[in-house]
Chains A and B, each alone.
Chain A
Amino acid sequence: MRDFSYLRADSVEAARNAAALPGAMLLAGGTTLIDLAKCGVAEPSTVIDISHIEGLAAIDVTADRAAIGALAKMSHVADNAEIKSYFPAVSEALWQAASAQLRNMATIGGNLMQRTRCPYFRDPQNFPACNKRAPGSGCSAIGGVTRGHAVLGVSEACIATYPGDLAVALIAFDAEVDLGERKLKVEDFFLAPGATAEQEHDIRPGEVITAIEIPGSAAARRSTYIKVRDRQSYEFAAASAAVGLELEGDGRTVRDIRVALGGVATKPWRARAVEDALKGKALDEETVRKASELAMAGAVDHGANHYKIALAPRVIARAILKLGETA
């Protein structure tokens, strides 16, 4: 870790001004920034502490809309009664993320900025080549240890998996991120690597995430998040699925369905092909399993992560069938 300047912002305006400085990075819960600074990935020249800004931690939820302040802690959102009622997948995704200690520190805005766990990205000393860290330097992961790497949205520049859980639930329900001057879909906020792996988010110098808004829906009310991993807690997803379901009055025909994937793609991944295949269909196991396979169209594996192509559709199917059974 090298020396840096520390500024404490007492307003969003001050934070925006400071965030426009070259080499500036925002500090909220610190669970990602401090970690990355320790392993030599983040080397900010200025750290702007936004954790003391007032009014950014509010959680306002009705059946129609959730508005979550950027500084709300993961654990507070996960435990919010209205979030649990109207957006259960959001609560479940948060509960299954990280550890209790991290959830108590980490903020919702910071969670969206969480970086990949790709071991090559995280070790600049031993693996200098990484297009995320040093554009054009190459990808050390391709040809290396790839068990945790992405199979969807990959490019020749980068196969690093987006590690988070919350954003997977957010994109399933068309959540938006509030950047002050702009609001955009969370789904569009995350960028697949393409040829520019260093650009992970559509955020510009001087922009600060202030809130996340999730429109309410019947599908969000009947939703779940299933996360599969070798360890029962404190592990990133081998594959995860956020699913919301709205059925017709017959209790089995799909009126609306939302499917998003985590742990298998370079960004939180909406599986619209699965949604389209099931809308208007009656739910039965075979139909659901077959439709879930569509999520993996275009999947590319790198050997050790091949299992994800088989696993992810099973996770989707489990989530859909679980919601269908609770009719």
Chain B
Amino acid sequence: MTVHDMKHAASDSARLEAVGGRLSRVDGPAKITGAAHYAVEQQLEGLTHAVLVGATIAAGKVSGIDTRAAETAPGVLAVLTPDTIMPLNGASDWFGNPSPQPTFLPLVREVTFSGQHVAAVVAETFEQAVAAAALVKVWYDEMPAIVDLSDGKAGDGIPIDAMTKEWGDAQAAFAAAPVRICAAYNTPREFQAAMEPHGLIARWEGDELTVWEPSQWLDGMARTYAEWFSVPFENVRLVSPYIGGGFGSKALALAHSAVAAAAARMLGRPVKLVLNRPQNFTSYGGRAATRQTVAIGADRDGKIQSIVHRGVNETAVDGMWVEPLGSVTSIMYATPNFSSKQNVVRVNTVVPGAKRAPGENPSAFGIECAIDELAHELGIDPLEMRLINYAEQDPHAKKAWSTRQLREAFAAGAEAFGWAKRSPQPRAMRDGHQLIGWGVAAGTYPVRRAHGEAVVRIMADGSVVVESSSIDMGQGTYTILAQTAAETLGVPVERVSVKLGDSHFARAGVTGGSRLAGVMTGAVYKAAGQALDELIGLALSDTRSPFQKLQANTLQVRDGRIASPRGEGPEITIAELMSAVGRDHIEAKGDTLPASTTPEERYKNYTTIAMSIPHTEGEYSRHSWCAHFVEVRVDEDFGTVRVSRVVSALDSGRLYNPKLAESQWKGGIIMGIGQALLEEGVVDRRHGRIVNGNFADYMLPTNADIPDIQTISVGIPDPHSSALGGKGVGELAIVGIAPAIANAVFHATGKRVRDLPITLEKLI
């Protein structure tokens, strides 16, 4: 089946189980009944429990650790410190670059952020480990810490030349433009805040390590463990059948993972280590705090002449994270002159990491607020402003868009929202004490592509098994791969069981950057096609097959029954054929790699991100697109902002399962509401420590904060983006929500809030 054929099968009227059908999550019943066992819920013989001791300073040295009281506490098996934990080998980074340090100590003597792990206690029970961990005494030589981007000691940071994007003469064109705006936009440190905490169970059997750990990247994490402990990659098995939310945070094996695996090796017993909630705010990085300056020069008719953009994000003292702040700025609008540059500033924090749409998310906050400010300055409707400056091709790559249904998104969203009724002036709408505002913003996310492989096995009873070491963290992998296999093979979807989350299955790269669905549907489509070919080949050629005498060229399979296309001859089930030809299974392993790929390249493809395919490869620039329309109500006395309506029109290409895509979009929109109004990691400037590292004080939206959300799919199949025509879904919808809300708050109140989150004291 070609993409063109698929297009006709893609409507919502398609059969539930077909690709494009609104099948409910196949893993849903197991999750809501508690039958789904998450990684750290495994019950193992002889399991021990580890608890970490975190640094109470943000910078300095550990000058002494007294473990005596902890060692003699009930049930304690070991107290690990930088002096007693086994040294590990430095592991390569996620590009596959070797570690600059030959050894890696997951417990540190040199402290570079508050909460960094300095010791660990392993005991027979969790309670004993907690009690003993409190008895470990640590002394420090404290040094002055650089708390955050506004710290006087932070400086301008390090220029990241690879982030520079320039064409034309942006400075001169800005200076010459008749209308100019320039403003600074800040986003705070934010956290992924998954419900399921990070944690793992590690068990050694000889030189073989099994790790049960929530993972967005089994093969990548297995590689890291293998390198840390100098064992072959094949000796490490990662198991992660379900993930209780990752949002970018669960793609890497981290220091606490190393502590547990080292403790298990040292003790010769399995070790369970789960980060407590405050440790989930200090043991791995959330979204880096960012600052941007956006300057736009335009003609009086609204045509942009120049964009000058400068960005800064925080990174760690001992680790590098670049949050690409010019990513949306450089592609959203057509401009003849452009300049974007970025610095990173080292502060005393755990190294920041990926959180849903890293780069694009804060980037859009800058440019999508700035365009609104320009529209207001010019007295042009902000939606019209976006259409005046619509980019007909990728302004940076100078390539055609593969597909860009953004104009359609603006039109569909505006129509559903009733945008035409908006009065241009701020403070024009009110309901009692509530000022009402409408805002719009666009979003985008690149189509990140990679290669994947899958095993499809047709069993003797006609059922089908799909295996992949990719994962499902709630986005629907189990479901869409079942749909893909069912449609390709012509079997009912309930006869397909999808097995994920075991690194001994067929390999997969990272689940991140909204790439997995496109990669894995392609791999399953290919593997299932190979299995089908073998099945039909057997049916046509095996002497024991009832079809052998037909002399037909091909057969078709529908609802698990095999027949000739014209209905001649017999019709039998797959099970009957398998029985007739004496096969207990047919197995095909399909991958999307070129046939010439070497084993080394295959390993690199799945265990690093070095072989990801650029979204601007070849003739096209590939992105998902969206337009958000938001209504807010702001209490004029209290400054409280509530989002009362969201209409978003989105172009994710073809949807493999519209029901699940809509859920992901809504999840992104909800997370964006939290980002706009609530989320902020608050740091005590004297101690360099997050003080709201828990779910009561780190504000996430509740159901009461979320209005009805309408999503509209405006995508069309994009053959340049994936095998089946889909583009990215998971990250797209969060991009642009925060600026849409900020723009709506301006429309409601006349106040521009350029620092997220928009909390009440900024409006009273």
Contacts and interface: CB of A to CB of B under 8 A. Distances in A.
Q: Do A and B come from one complex?
A: yes
Interface of A: 1-3, 40, 99, 117, 119-120, 123, 125-127, 143-145, 147, 228-235, 238, 306-307, 310-311, 314-315, 317-318
B637 A314 contact: yes
Nearest to B700: A231
Interface string B668-701: 0000000001100011111101011000110101
Given A2-B134, A311-B760, A231 B687 contact: no
A307 B696 contact: no
Given A2-B131, A311-B638, A318-B433, A232 B705 contact: yes
Contacts of B684: 144-145
17 contacts: A2-B134, A3-B131, A40-B134, A99-B702, A119-B692, A126-B687, A143-B686, A145-B683, A228-B640, A230-B757, A230-B760, A231-B705, A232-B705, A234-B696, A311-B764, A318-B637, A318-B638
A145 B701 contact: no
B642 interface: yes
Nearest to A289: B637
Contacts of B702: 99, 231-234
Interface residues of B, number: 39
A120 B691 contact: yes
Given A232-B702, A307-B760, 20 more contacts: A1-B127, A1-B130, A2-B134, A40-B134, A119-B697, A125-B134, A126-B56, A126-B114, A127-B687, A143-B686, A144-B684, A144-B686, A145-B682, A145-B684, A230-B640, A230-B757, A233-B703, A307-B764, A311-B639, A318-B433
Q: Which 4 A-B pairs have the closest CB atoms?
A: A307-B761, A232-B704, A233-B704, A119-B691
A130 to B, nearest CB: 13
B696 A231 contact: no
Contacts of A40: 134
B699 A231 contact: yes
Interface of B: 54, 56, 114, 127, 130-131, 134, 278, 433, 635, 637-640, 642, 677-678, 682-687, 689, 691-692, 696-697, 699, 701-705, 757, 759-761, 764
B631 to A, nearest CB: 15
Given A3-B131, A117-B697, A230 B678 contact: yes
A39 to B, nearest CB: 8
A228 B637 CA distance: 10
Which label, helix, strand, loop or mixed, suits the secondary structure of the A interface? loop
B689 A126 contact: yes
B594 to A, nearest CB: 51
Nearest to A35: B696
Contacts of A233: 702-705
B691 A232 contact: no
A228 B634 CA distance: 12
Contacts of A310: 764
A46 B686 CA distance: 36
Contacts of B757: 230
Contacts of A235: 699
A195 B156 CA distance: 45
Nearest to B761: A307
Contacts of A307: 639, 760-761, 764
A278 B176 CA distance: 61
A19 to B, nearest CB: 25
A143 B697 CA distance: 19
Contacts of B433: 318
Nearest to B131: A2
Contact of B691 (A144, A311, A317): A144
Residue from A99, A145, A228 with most neighbouring chain B CB atoms (10 Å): A145
Contacts of B760: 228, 230, 238, 307, 311
Contacts of B691: 119-120, 123, 144-145
Contacts of A144: 684-687, 691
Contacts of B638: 228, 311, 314-315, 318
A99 B704 CA distance: 11
A32 to B, nearest CB: 12
A142 B678 CA distance: 24
Contacts of A315: 637-638
Contacts of B278: 123
Contacts of A1: 127, 130-131
A253 to B, nearest CB: 25
A238 B638 CA distance: 10
